[in-house]
Amino acid sequence: MERLDKILSATGRWSRREVKLLVKQGRILVDGRPAAAPEQKVDPAAMEITVDGADIGYRRFTYLMLHKPAGVLSAVEDKRQQTVLDLLPQELQRQGLSPVGRLDKDTEGLLLLTNDGDLTHRLLSPRYHVDKVYYARVDGRLEPSDCQAFAAGMTLGDGLKCMPAGLEILGPDEALVTLQEGKFHQVKRMLAARGKPVLYLKRLSMGDLQLDEDLQPGEFRHLTAEEVALLQR
């Protein structure tokens, strides 16, 4: 059970002060009866809560899929530069969402945003072996020996040991890279270590979740219940 004002303000649509007023005006109904007070304890999973007759559509956590465009930081806030949170409407910005891992400023593609900290941890921890697949275009010619080096687990010039990774060559300078970890600039550093610096990078999937091709760069949508279940597996 949670306080009614906490539930309503977590949707990002009303502030706690507004909830107080709505309660006073009798516009919030809990299981068909006017809410008694903002502090009233309710169970949003079991009770019907409406404002002006409309269900509040409460979900404990929010899960968004964003097609991150190049030029935007994977951060919650930044004094000078635009962040992925700036791409969302105000009501979603107030929900305490964070990106699940970082994509570099110039990297595009699938970025999840959620306020479900447990899921974030599981998706990012190498222990859970969640594949992240990237499309990369490089300056150079990819060869089978690059695939072998990726599969063997590379050690980079600065001593960073990488887990075995996938490199599937699509064309002379194009490949799919599959990682189960996400160290700083990892794809770029691995390919640079092979003498083939990355020119373009886009994340296509994370676990079973694929970037929705209908989303243009900068667009987002809520995950469906099925997609959330895929990630929870």
Binding footprint of ligand URA on the chain (CB under 6 A): 103-104, 107, 185-188, 201
In angstroms, what is the minimal distance from the CB of 188 to ligand URA?
4
- Residue 35 near residue 4 (C-beta atoms within 8 A): yes
Name the H helices within 1-156. 4-10, 16-24, 90-93, 117-124, 144-152
Whole-angstrom Cα distance, residue 224 to residue 209? 11
Other Cβ atoms closer than 10 A to 203: 23
* For ligand URA, the closer CB: 95 or 178: 178
In angstroms, what is the minimal distance from the CB of 7 to ligand URA?
36
Angle, nearest 10°, between helix axes 225-232 and 117-124? 50
Other Cβ atoms closer than 10 A to 214: 8
* For ligand URA, the closer CB: 61 or 200: 200
Active site residues per annotation: 104
In angstroms, what is the minimal distance from the CB of 132 to ligand URA?
7
* For ligand URA, the closer CB: 11 or 196: 196
Other Cβ atoms closer than 10 A to 9: 19
DSSP 160: P
DSSP 14: S
* For ligand URA, the closer CB: 23 or 133: 133
Sign of CA dihedral 215, 218, 223, 229: positive
In angstroms, what is the minimal distance from the CB of 209 to ligand URA?
16
In angstroms, what is the minimal distance from the CB of 162 to ligand URA?
11
- Residue 126 near residue 162 (C-beta atoms within 8 A): no
Q: How far is CA 9 from CA 54, 114, 135, in A?
A: 16, 17, 39
- Residue 225 near residue 60 (C-beta atoms within 8 A): no
